[in-house]
Structure 1
């Protein structure tokens, strides 16, 4: 595969120009381009520049409003609500981030409910932002019903990612993973590369196991960990759907009416203040957490996000990231 070297500014500029051409307003362009650049520079390719195809398709289909501004609703509770009004979620989340942080510090715990949004992005950049403000955080979203429940044969659940982060004096502890065995974007990257999928991650249209990426796209993905992953996925459906008055992955799929667009649903983010919740004993709790992290490292185990932080440091130090020439050509053709 032929690759080209792009600086961070070049990645951001390519995303910005593509989004502007697609009709996104300046605030949306900035929020989306920042997210895509962050993911690309961390070698999170499935959520980097590749996602521009979905961003463009959703505007061409007429389903996403690329310019509308979110509506923020605040009261005297620990709940922050933001209506994305049928736009990509990122602008809405960023508009609500400051009051979410403020309420978490005031109450010890706060919740952000994002409604009526199209979501396509990684969750960890938002979680990391909260961690760097000194908060622990948890985020969940449903998607389209692309994933079969354990023991099932067709899609009923979303890829339903969960992200959690814990603040540290160094880079925070963060994980972000789909409850499906594979992310939808990863399967598309395998399809584009002509590579077979690993065994046990997907079913074809007839409900039979497959390693063919296209058959998987036409069929269903599997949850990770069998019934355990399936149960977690159902939890995400409930927490980020009915709990906040929004759609499940089945509802999102029906809303799309077969169009290849980003899932339409809600998102929930919970933020926790360790100082308030520990009764002022956060320094002791932080020391216990660091002993746990040290023990894990002493056994030769890798903490989640360490590989991504290493990629970030490497790409920052050398001043560029390697991107498939074919991907860049395809983006420019948009």
Structure 2
């Protein structure tokens, strides 16, 4: 079945608030989750929601804590998330980075002791909306073996970059692996195969079986280049921000383990370099130059724009197995999901 973005948001809000999650925290989790589904990142949308509920039940996600700023200068801050929802920690971290960039030209925020934060590009969008450039990287539980190895040591380690413009949505949001782990989990749930050249099984052999891939490793995108980028992100979002790295990273895939990953947020205020309208005009001129170089040429961000239009028209997918999972959660908190969706 398909549901509307409004319905998805309401379902998440109802369940979380009935589980004693603060309203303002529930709103952020719901907004980030719906944003992922609208943009077509279904592996990080409501399909991940049962994982968060498991984390709440296991105590690895703390519903009533607050973030703590451990170190701070005019341009940077180090945040202890105290294991509340990763969406809330990163949202607050981005707000802090934006304010610092507004004052100094750049804001850098490191985060540790957080949780899975959903789709990375949501947070760089926050910077775009303030006429800022945003960059967010994070490490995750080991899923990628180094080139030539069999044992997963690196995470899928996402990176998102967003750039303000007057006419275009300029944004890239991607894993440094050939596939996000969430897409493998989604393929398992839907009983689907994964594409070739995406993953290896535990013996190091190519596989299209997502369950075998989860036991083995995901390939880095672009071979050595993806591996090298993931390697650097592991350091920037691990040792630099007092978070775990390599095989010590836990909790992003298994919600019953304490999350030890880290995040790094960088925000740049272009107006400290050039007039902001001149900058955005130059960005739009560059986009036009790219698109005029051939037929049907897309820029980073066009796919998300197309998916948002399609999602708003057709609705957001809720497959049978996921519906059952959400209904079971709803029943536990006395929320009549069936009646809500039929009303």
TM-score scaled to structure 2, two decimals?
0.88
Paired residue for 2:285, among 291, 303, 316? 291
Once the two structures are TM-superposed, the CA of residue 65 in structure 1 deviates from its matched residue by 1.3
Q: Give the equivalent residue in structure 2 for 1:197.
A: 194
Question: Equivalent residue for 1:270?
Answer: 266
Distance 1:17 1:249 in 2: 36
Q: Which residue is 1:330 aligned to? A: 325
Match of 2:338 in 1: none
- The CA deviation at 1:261 is 5.1
Q: Tell me if 1:37 matches 2:40.
A: no
Give the C-alpha shift of residue 119 in structure 1. Answer: 1.6
Task: State the Cα distance separating 1:283 from its structure 2 match.
Answer: 4.1
The CA RMSD over aligned residues, in Å, is: 2.2
Task: Report SS of the residue matched to 1:175.
Answer: strand
Residue 203 of structure 1 deviates from its aligned partner by 1.2
User: What SS does structure 2 have at the residue aligned with 1:16?
Assistant: helix
Give the Å deviation of 1:319. Answer: 7.8
Structure 2 portions without partners, runs of 5+ = 330-343
User: 93, 96, 100: which is aligned to 1:96?
Assistant: 93
Are the structure 2 counterparts of residues 241 and 210 from structure 1 closer, same or farther at C-alpha, using a change threshold of 3 Å?
Answer: same
SS of 2:285's equivalent?
helix
Q: What residue is the counterpart of 2:220 in the other structure?
A: 223
Give runs of ≥4 in structure 1 deviating > 6 Å: 255-259
Q: C-alpha displacement at 1:27, in angstroms?
A: 3.0
Q: Give me the whole-angstrom Cα distance separating, in 1, the residues matched to 2:301 and 2:73.
A: 35
Conserved? CA contact 2:52–2:255, under 8 Å:
no
Is the counterpart of residue 142 in structure 1 residue 136 in structure 2?
no
Q: May I ask how many residue pairs the two structures share in their alignment?
A: 327
CA contact 1:180–1:221 (8 Å) conserved in 2: yes
In the TM superposition, residue 179 of structure 1 has moved relative to its aligned partner by 0.5
Q: Identify if the C-alpha distance between structure 1 residues 192 and 173 changes in structure 2 by more than 3 Å, giving closer, same or farther.
A: same
Deviation of 1:58 (Å): 1.3
Q: Equivalent of 1:158, from 155, 158, 161?
A: 155
Query: Which one of the candidate residues 293, 311, 317 is aligned to 1:315?
Result: 311
Kept after mapping to 2: 8 A contact 1:72/1:82: yes
TM-score, with length taken from structure 1: 0.90
Give the Cα separation in 1 of the matches to 2:185 and 2:299.
27
Q: Which residue does 2:126 correspond to in 1? A: 129
